Chains A and B, each alone.
Chain A
Amino acid sequence: MDIPKALNPVEALKNALPDAVADVVEFRDETTIVVDPTKIRSVMQFLRDTSGLIYNFLSDISAVDYWDQSYNYDINKRFGVSYHIYSMLYNRRLRVKVYLPEEAPTVESVTSIWPAANWLEREIIDMMGVKFVGHPDPRRVLMPEDWEGYPHRRDYPLGYETIQFSFNVEEIIKHKPLAKE
């Protein structure tokens, strides 16, 4: 079987979808293509199906929160979602990244392209509070269903349990209800 010649993913993507690519970052031999969040599905479909690219395996989807205590961050780029895709044919990885705003972070789901994205996206919905449009089952996965807040956001405190002494037991009981009689 002839294997088609490998294409450079950055150039191929820039030729096919010129307005989707926002930026390209190289760090430690890893290529990151920053794309427009509204075009993520067409970009992923292109990367998976184009001969010479064939990124057929979705390794991971990770979300990162750029929030910072001194509020020194771009509110239009607070969240980053990194898709790590892998091509078994050409044995190479690629990172596709989208930046999402602080107000209502929303991106299209890629579950229809890789079913593996189902649970990976659910984890981000649960932990980061990013919405994936078109996700078939957007329930919480790791935290309880009635949990409030998104634990992996940087402004979510790490949390601890107050140690109970006789002087603060009243205070603790107030926010930690006991089983009802």
Chain B
Amino acid sequence: MAVSHVEGTSVGAVAQESTWEGNVEELRGLVSDRALTGETMLLNMGPHHPSTHGVLRLLLELDGEQIVTCLPDVGFLHTGIEKNIEAKTYEKGVTLTDRMDYLSPMSNNMVFCLAIEKLVDLDVPARAQVIRVICLELSRISSHLVWLGTHALDLGAMSVFLYAFREREMILNMFEMLSGQRLMGSYFRPGGVWRDLTPDFLPTLEKFLDYFPAKIDDYESLLTNNPLWIDRTQGIGVVEPEDALAWGMSGPSLRGSGVNWDIRKAMPYSGYEQYDFHVPLGEHGDVYDRFFIRILELRESVKIIRQAIQKLPGGPFRSQNRKFVPPPRAELGQSMEAVIHHFKLWTEGFSAPDAEVYVSVESPRGEIGCYLHGTGGNKPRRVHFKTPSYMHIGALPVMTKDHFIADLVAIIGSVDIVLGDCDR
């Protein structure tokens, strides 16, 4: 794919010899034959286009304004997270997972911790499970707010962006209370969470839950029945349920097509089976349905958090299994055993069997899966994350076929891609 490449890299050379033309022959088989003769136009979009939500490059073949082929090109944000985790002990790897899907780092922490807990068979106390649910749902809200703001901004509704970010700020402040960090908290650790809820967290959360539902009404009054919004989104980017399944879509993008699959319901983790919530489903599989489902999910998340506060039990916030979880600081002064465990865990880490596990959780974007293969030692042999954005970008050519280039922006926004999640 060298169409946009400039031959010769330095500025001086360009002026004299090189042209902007690449070799179209390289694209034979990827684009239609009409592009090779010049009948249709090849247009490069991104990687620095604001509507591509990061660094996604699309090579578009256009017939007038209609998209004939769309070739996504990813990898600009590839940071080798999977490879780096192979060189780290298990607990240190958690920090890297934050950086994948930077809009909902808690989901990445969750899937990696669940995989470790399954591989070494580690228990998670009830209090930690409920704290995890609160954090996961809060990060779902904050991630959906960024999505809502940027998606509306792409389609020309500027004000939603400002409102959505105002509410997101409150959630980030709560994350800061918990973990000391607004975004990359690494708050979940194998066996529980890093520390207990701080005393001011629950009152702040209650205040937020009283404040927030009225704000969802505000977003809805700006968009849901807005004729311009409906014109831009209804009937655009329709994905049939069979196609959505075949292309591996998941999360709200799959449920927008009417497929009832939510991992929180299907294979509950962290005690999700104890909560009463509803999984919203779409009918048409278009951009509007994917939008409306996420709005409904915001309300469901509020419901789940309220139930979680109700049932928050006492007890430890992290497993008491000292072979995997370091002892609290206070014990180090009195117990020789605690010092030994502390030393072993922070120098060598714990060992996991030479076997493989796969777990998946429902992130705000869809199914995020973690394949973890141990070595029998203290570092993993292989960790692989199946990320929803990667699958959704892979499915973009199907979703965008025969649409106008202006609708492409709506479709990209509606599947809620995060390039850090895609490229890892």
Contact = CB atoms under 8 A, between A and B. Distances in A.
Most chain A CB atoms below 10 A, which of B12, B384, B395: B384
Given A64-B373, A64-B381, A151-B80, A116 B75 contact: no
Contact of B10 (A60, A84, A180): A180
Interface residues of B, number: 48
Contacts of A123: 390
Interface string B246-280: 11100000000001010000110000000000000
Interface string B67-94: 0000000110010101110110000000
Contacts of A137: 30
Contact of B75 (A60, A64, A143, A158): A143
Interface in A40-59: 56-59
A123 B246 CA distance: 18
B357 A116 contact: no
A158 B83 contact: yes
A30 B369 CA distance: 15
Given A141-B74, A145-B1, A95 B358 contact: yes
B306 to A, nearest CB: 28
B6 interface: no
Given A27-B357, A158-B87, A59 B80 contact: no
Given A65-B382, A116-B246, A158 B373 contact: no
Interface of A: 27-28, 30, 32, 56-60, 62-66, 82, 84, 88, 91, 93, 95, 114-116, 118-120, 123, 137, 139-145, 151-152, 154, 158, 179-181
13 contacts: A30-B357, A57-B245, A64-B382, A84-B386, A115-B246, A115-B248, A116-B248, A118-B394, A120-B386, A142-B74, A143-B78, A158-B83, A180-B13
Interface of B: 1, 8-10, 12-13, 30, 74-75, 78, 80, 82-84, 86-87, 118-119, 121, 245-248, 259, 261, 266-267, 355-358, 360, 367, 369, 371, 373, 381-382, 384, 386, 390-391, 393-395, 398, 423-424
